[in-house]
């Protein structure tokens, strides 16, 4: 081998060594960076607020009884009209009041051989429903219903007569609540990073939980509690 060839071989060998060293450094640095980015913390942020219901559905159920079916229907119509006029007089709009067909029960057809005889052969049940966005007004009218009871209308309690309150403005409050939940999640993550001598990085992934709407408590179903939990994972670095 000539002197020139030996020189070229030596230079090539040095180049290979340097290339291997540089490659090793880059790979090592990449591994460190990768491990740093693998460090993360997952936190949850809660946003919970109370809002008044904006829709009320109030079913008013009453009963009538008698032995003359024709008169029973007439009595139902009279009581229904009294309730309807009462509601309108108290401020409920006419188009917010709906009336269903009455349910009639013939007790003589249900005795099945029983010798006992009911005082009234027929009983009827009727429901007048109020569907309104004026929740406060309707709640005040509920307290006045006894005025009709004094006129001889027999109201029926139970599940079917319970008022239902709805909150339909969820899309209006969503953005602010999501922002609040995300901010609270970051506050928790920041505290964790400080306690672990780390720096909080960017969001690695985030997920928004389902919004839930429930009554504030059993005695105040017209006040709704809206809540959402956001789960956020942040990168951590030294």
Statement: residue 24 has pLDDT above 70: no
Top pLDDT among 232 and 15 is at 232
202-229: average pLDDT: 94
Statement: residue 25 has pLDDT above 70: no
CATH number for the domain whose boundaries are 55-166: 3.30.70.2970
Instruction: Select from 3.90.245.10, 3.40.50.300, 3.30.110.170, 2.70.150.10 the CATH code of 39-54+167-238.
Output: 3.30.110.170
Residue keyed to tokens 């139970």? 158
13-38: average pLDDT: 45
Name which of 221, 98, 96, 92 is nearest 165 in CA terms: 221
Statement: residue 113 has pLDDT above 60: no
Give the start-to-end residue ranges of the domains of the chain. Answer: 1-38, 39-54+167-238, 55-166
> Exposure string (b/e) for 142-175, b if CB count within 10 Å is 16 or more?
eeebeebeeeebeeeeeeeeebebbbeeeeebee
- pLDDT, one tens digit per residue, over 50-70 is 999 999 999 999 999 999 999
What pLDDT, on the 0 to 100 scale, is given for residue 116? 57
pLDDT, mean over the chain: 84
What pLDDT, on the 0 to 100 scale, is given for residue 112? 56
- pLDDT, one tens digit per residue, over 172-197 is 999 999 999 999 999 999 999 999 89
């Amino acid at each position: 081998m000539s002197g020139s060839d030996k020189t070229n071989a030596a230079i090539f060998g040095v180049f290979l060594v340097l290339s291997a060293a540089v490659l090793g450094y880059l790979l090592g640095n990449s591994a460190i960076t990768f491990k740093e980015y693998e460090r993360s913390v997952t936190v949850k942020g809660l946003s919970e607020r109370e809002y008044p219901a904006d829709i009320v559905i109030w079913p008013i159920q009453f009963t009538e009884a008698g032995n003359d079916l024709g008169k029973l229907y007439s009595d139902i119509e009279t009581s229904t009209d009294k309730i309807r006029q009462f509601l309108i007089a108290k401020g409920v709009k006419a188009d917010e009041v709906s009336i269903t067909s009455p349910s009639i029960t013939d007790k003589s057809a249900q005795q099945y051989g029983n010798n006992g005889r009911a005082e009234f052969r027929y009983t009827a049940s009727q429901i007048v429903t109020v569907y309104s966005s004026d929740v406060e007004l309707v709640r005040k009218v509920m307290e006045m219903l006894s005025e009709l009871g004094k006129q001889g209308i027999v109201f029926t309690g139970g599940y079917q007569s319970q008022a239902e309150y709805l909150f339909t403005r969820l899309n209006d409050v969503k953005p602010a609540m999501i922002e609040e939940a995300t901010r609270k999640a970051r506050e928790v993550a920041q505290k964790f990073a400080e306690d672990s001598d780390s720096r909080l990085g960017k969001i690695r992934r985030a997920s928004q939980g389902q919004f839930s709407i429930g009554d504030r408590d059993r005695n105040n179903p017209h006040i709704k509690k809206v809540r959402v939990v956001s789960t956020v994972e942040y990168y951590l670095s030294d």
